[in-house]
Chain A
Amino acid sequence: MIVNVRGYITSKDAEAYKDCADHYACNLQLHRFAIADGVSKSFFPKLWSKILVDKAVEQTCDEDGALEDCRKEWLSQVTRRVSRPEVKWFTANAFLRQEPALSTLVTLAFDEENMCWTASAIGDSFLFFVPRGREDDMEHWTKLSSKPEPVVFDNFPDYLSSRGGGKGEARHTAGLIEPGTFYLMTDALSEWVFENRGDALRLIQTDWTGQNGFRDSVNRLRHSGVLHDDDSSVLIINVEDDGIGDICYGKVDVSSLEDLVGMEETLQHCKDTVALRKAELWKDIEEIIDNANLSEYAKREIKDQLSKDDALAN
């Protein structure tokens, strides 16, 4: 079997990548994939969703033990951040109130030996498996989340809590590996797929062929009112039969959120530097003009002209 993997992620329209509380992870050695949507109103949800997906693609832990490990890791990292002297009052208060982080989680694992797959899901993030040629027959799709049927998307999903407990029970499913495509998606995209079915899959096929294409397509869908403005992430795992029993990875194009955040911060840093240098340069220029043996009118004219040129250059 040849497996091609695509993974793309974007934040809400008015927010930066660093604000995105979705995460996904892939472990191609272990054939494990996971996606999580941190509940943005909870406490350090980005950290929690990242810890969950990273742990979910490791093989070593049983499920309960893994979740406990995740909770310890989250608490350890949050405690470290809250202990900093510059911590904000609202962060310190929420920590004292023992507020939790909340997140959904969807996992998928291929068992190469038995050529089967298993998946689990809690919350309103979804796994869809669409057998090849069945794109327009949603009743033939595998659809997994912990939402009850009929699926209604709302603001009250099930979740895993970083402080124990949580809401709802994870659901599980399994199948034999066959040609088709797995889609692991957070809620806004899942809702859109539910509503647009085969049309959505065709758009994914043609437009989501890279991070930029994905981001542009998501923005278009948002602006046309068919997709909710939410953090949105997707893992697309396409399985093709090459007549060989083993799993072999073909094209893998998975964007790294850390990389996107770094890129965004570096770009901002560059812009800030340009703005600062321009301000310094402008001061020098004003000094030259002010010291020139010219009338006030002439000085003002030169400044106006340079301002206009500067605006044009921008």
Chain B
Amino acid sequence: MEKKHSKQFSSANPGVVLFVLDQSGSMKETYPEGGSKAAFLHKVVNRTINEMINANMDGETVKDRAIVSLFGCGGKGATEIRTDKLSGFANNPLRIESATQKVSDGNGGLVEVSTQNPVFFEAQAGGPTPLGSTLEVVKPVVAAFMDKYPDSPAPVIIIVSDGLPYAEGVDEEAKAIAEAREIMDLQGNDGSPLIFNCHIGNGANKCTFPSSEDDLHDEQARFLYKISSEVPDSYKEAAAKLELELPDNCRGMVSNADPTTLIKFINFGSSGASQDRMSNN
């Protein structure tokens, strides 16, 4: 029998990478890199989509080996920001910003060139964190994808937030745990969807890829543990390249992530759509 979570992203069987992005009011707080948490997360996710496009581009066309879905979780409730094939993002960014980049001049030196940086969605922050309600909206999207693409890799859901779920009148924390479990219980040919969680913090008391809930000493980390999938072997190579240490049977989660860890974690979670685990075909 074929091993679960071993299928590769391909044009015939595209994978889905679904981001759930915290857009609550606390995301306005400053982050160590300067600017707000929301602005930093916005940059990282835009850049990640850009890298997926580069990894699936053969010159003038982008191969649709991945579908990217962006969901916001904030003052407007659960909002689907954008779901599109990679070529859709590539051909229709919201806007293009100019930037400069240093590249090799071919003679051992560097030369500064002007590059075009695409922006695929806007940063937002305001209101509570209705994560449970957002996962309730995400669940049928994931199930529909698995129905439509039964031979595709199991969907990957990357949740990034800066605190515990909260919304007036609803126990969003309990709801998030229940919804996440239902998503993780969906069954496909490549196994169940994977949920990876990153909690943005200041890097103090950082907890990465724990193997047991007993090792966790704060409420935030214990919550994330409950809503995170065990990391399959197929992700271990990508983790090693990013210098992320993965103990056996660990969960795909980080709490109190500093900016560097956040970037690495998102690269790790989306590695199926970039170079590391993608078919060379």
Contact = CB atoms under 8 A, between A and B. Distances in A.
A21 B11 CA distance: 14
B260 interface: no
A12 B11 contact: yes
A44 B54 CA distance: 12
B174 interface: no
A45 interface: yes
Interface residues of B, number: 34
A299 interface: no
B144 interface: no
Q: Which of B13, B60, B279 has the most CB of A within 10 A?
A: B60
B11 to A, nearest CB: 4
Contacts of B101: 96-97
B149 to A, nearest CB: 11
A33 B15 CA distance: 38
B170 interface: no
A91 interface: yes
Interface majority SS (helix, strand, loop, mixed), chain A: loop
B16 interface: no
Contacts of A40: 58, 63, 280-281
Interface string B7-45: 000111100000000000000000000000000000000
Contacts of B10: 12, 14, 229
Interface of B: 10-13, 50, 53-63, 90-91, 93, 96, 101, 103-104, 106, 113-116, 118, 275, 278-281
Interface of A: 12-15, 19, 21, 39-47, 78, 81, 88-94, 96-98, 101, 155-157, 188, 228-231
- What 10 A-B pairs are tightest by C-beta distance, nearest first? A14-B12, A155-B280, A44-B59, A89-B116, A230-B281, A14-B11, A96-B113, A13-B12, A93-B115, A90-B57
Given A41-B280, A98-B103, A230-B281, 11 more contacts: A12-B10, A19-B63, A43-B57, A44-B59, A90-B50, A92-B115, A94-B59, A98-B104, A155-B279, A155-B280, A228-B281
